[in-house]
A = this chain, B = another copy of it.
Amino acid sequence: MTTEQTILIVDDEAAIRDMIGIALDTAGFSSMTAETALEAHVNIVDRRPDLVLLDWMLPGGSGIELARRLKREELTADIPIIMLTAKTSEDNKVQGLDVGVDDYVTKPFSPRELVARIKAVLRRSTGNLRDKPIRVFDLELDPASHRVTLDDHAVDMGPTEYRLLNFFMTHPEKVFSRDHIQDQVWGANVYLEERTVDVHIGRLRKALTSASGPGINYAGLIQTVRGAGYRFSTRAD
C-alpha cells in the first residue's frame, strides 16, 4: 500500500509546526496542521489523521483537554496521540499517559527522535487489533493485506467499496442509515448526495456477485432495509 500516512500537528507556534512538517515530509509522511484545539478537533473528525502530535501547552491549557476528549469519544479513541511538551516533570507524564496518550516527547527534541517515536507508535497501534481478518462463511476481509477474498480468490473492488465492506463486516446485523454510512465510510463532514451510497452499495454487491461461485451469492449479505438504510447480515432477509 502506497498511501502516505497523515500526521496532524497541533501547535500554536508556526515555527514549530513548520519544523515538524519538514521533518515529517522528509520521513515520508504527509502532514496537516492546526493552531487551536478547536481547529484540531474538527480536522480530526473530518479527516481522520493516522496520528496526532499535540502540544501540551496550547493557549488555555486545552491540549490536555483535547487529548482527554479524543480518547473518550469512540469515534476518535483509536487515533494515536503523541504529546509535545517543554515540561519534564514526572507529574505531567503520568497525567498525560493517564489520559491515554500513546507517547510523550519533551521539547527540545531532534526531528530524528520525533520521527522514530512516531514510527514506533504507528507500528504498535496498527499492529494490534486492526489486522485480524474478518471472515463470514468463505468471505474474508484481511485488513493487514487490505484484501478481500472469497473461496481464496481475490475479490476486485475499489477503495470505497473496501471501506464499505469493512464497515459492514465489523458491524454486522445492524441497520445503518445512508447518513450514518457516509459518516463512517467517507468521514464525518463530507457532504454527498444520499444516492451516492446506493451506487457504492451497488458496486460492492456487483463485485461480490462476480466473485461468488454457483453456490451462495454473497451480495445477499448486504440487505436493503426499505425506509431505513442497509444492513450486513448472514440471516435471511
Contacts and interface: CB of A to CB of B under 8 A. Distances in A.
Contacts of A144: 173-175
A94 B130 CA distance: 36
A231 interface: yes
A114 to B, nearest CB: 11
A207 to B, nearest CB: 14
A98 B226 contact: no
Nearest to A103: B42
A117 to B, nearest CB: 6
A196 interface: no
Contact of A60 (B96, B146, B191, B236): B96
A78 B100 CA distance: 19
Copies of this protein chain in the complex: 2
Contacts of A229: 146
B174 A37 contact: no
Interface stretch (A14-22, A119-127, A197-205, A211-219): A119-127
Contacts of A69: 100
Interface of A: 12, 35-39, 41-42, 45, 58-60, 62, 65-66, 69, 73-75, 94-98, 100-101, 103-104, 112-113, 116-117, 119-120, 123-124, 127-128, 130, 144-147, 153-154, 158-159, 173-175, 179-180, 183, 188-189, 191, 225-229, 231, 233, 235-237
29 contacts: A12-B95, A38-B94, A38-B97, A39-B95, A41-B98, A42-B104, A62-B97, A62-B98, A65-B98, A112-B191, A113-B191, A116-B191, A120-B179, A120-B189, A124-B188, A127-B180, A145-B173, A145-B175, A145-B233, A146-B225, A146-B228, A146-B229, A146-B231, A147-B225, A154-B235, A154-B236, A158-B226, A159-B226, A159-B228
